[in-house]
Amino acid sequence: MSDHAGWQDPGGVDDEPAARTSPGLPGPGATWSAPVYGQQPPYGQQPPYGLQPWGQQGPQGLPWATLGWAPQRKTSTTAIWALILAIVFPPVGLILGLVARSQVRRTGEDGAGVAKAAIIISIVYFAFIILFVVFVGVVASTHPSQVPGSTTG
């Protein structure tokens, strides 16, 4: 066993790399070459599988098609306004929500869920307003003395 600057040779290992062999590896003196996986595709053709290499453009000539994502479709402006008006003024929001829903079906724009939400919110909000008005009317008719400005009592 030799001692080289603090290292100890475990013994039994030859210092010559040619004497070491491993299964599956070429023996000493063999020449190495790069593995051949097939020919490169001609210019302008797609690789056989996987994503395209960086820097190439997608089928429409757009770089994002290479990355697997594309720009989002436009959401219907009518559906967005329907949702806003469903909260502010429910009857108009309901009508606009129904118009937006038919428009989305006809044009193929995004926004079907927004239009549906506008319709539901308009109906629920409008129902609460009607119930509140009916409740105030019932309370006012059963207790006229508690209504400000009434003369009976």
| DSSP notation for 33-47 | -PPP--PPPPTTSPP
Q: Is residue 102 part of a domain?
A: yes
Range of the domain at 115: 77-146
Using CB atoms within 10 A of its CB, is residue 76 exposed (0-12), middle (13-18) or buried (19+)? buried
Q: Is residue 20 part of a domain?
A: no
Q: Is residue 51 part of a domain?
A: no
Give the whole-angstrom CA distance, residue 146 versus residue 153: 9
Q: Is residue 39 part of a domain?
A: no
12 pLDDT more than 60:
no
Q: Is residue 106 part of a domain?
A: yes
Q: Which residue has the tokens 């797609």?
A: 46
77 pLDDT more than 80:
yes
Q: Is residue 127 part of a domain?
A: yes
Q: What is the pTM of this model?
A: 0.49
Q: How many domains does the chain have?
A: 1
The predicted structure's pLDDT at residue 16: 54
Asked whether the beta carbons of 114 and 75 are under 8 A apart, the reply is yes
Tokens of 82: 């329907």
150 pLDDT more than 80:
no
